[in-house]
Homo-oligomer: A and B are copies of this chain.
Amino acid sequence: MKMKRFPIQACLILIGSLIAIFTSNNLIAQVTSDQDESIYKDFKTEHMWDAKVTISNMIMVGESKRGTRRVIPITGGTFEGPKIKGVVLPGGEDWQLVRPDGDTELNARYLLKTDDGVVIQVINKVLMHTPKPGEGGQPYTRSVIDLEAPVDSKYDYLNHAIYIGTLNMSMSPGEGPAVVIGVYKVL
């Protein structure tokens, strides 16, 4: 796909206030360099935290109008990263749907409370794909995460980025089952 770029001045007249973002150096540089590279590209991310989220027994709705529905209650936990730490508040839930094509979509919504008393909302949408027998390939678990922090708190910076995540199973002796969720800001 070949395309020329107009001078910035012409763009400004056309689209006004949106332009500032599009002309940021790192975006232009990135798209340009893409064209010389292989199909693999590393996206730099910043690790925000790992959360260890404790869960209780799955509740089955069963085969529903949209797929297989099941719900996993979130009972608590902790989270810690370079610039933030605290606890997972009990009461959140992970509403899962096994889609008609067999993949599982997790839709977890819960609250964090930092050690300095700020409450942050997490919405974590996870896609889990397991290759069918004989299909080859690896199981796949990745997520996109939306964070809502108070705008008048020191964690307001969480409101202004896209996050991707990992999900891993973990258990500590004497505790119930838990998952470990890694949260990464896409830079």
Give the interface size bracket for A toward B: 35 or more
Contacts of A25 in B (CB 8 A): 138
Residues of A that sit less than 8 Å from B by CB: 1, 3-6, 10-11, 14-15, 18-28, 30-31, 34, 37, 39-47, 50, 52, 58-67, 69, 71, 73, 78-82, 89, 91-93, 95, 99-101, 103-104, 109, 111, 119-121, 127-130, 138-144, 148-153, 159-162, 164, 166-173, 177-180, 182, 184, 186-187
* Contact assessment for A95 and B109 in the assembled complex, using a CB-CB cutoff below 8 Å: yes
Tell me the number of copies of this protein: 4
Contacts of A141 in B (CB 8 A): 21-22, 24, 27
Give the distance to chain B from A40, nearest Cβ to Cβ, in Å.
Answer: 6
- With A3-B52, A40-B44, A65-B148 in contact, do A160 and B82 touch (Cβ < 8 Å)? no
* Contact assessment for A164 and B150 in the assembled complex, using a CB-CB cutoff below 8 Å: no
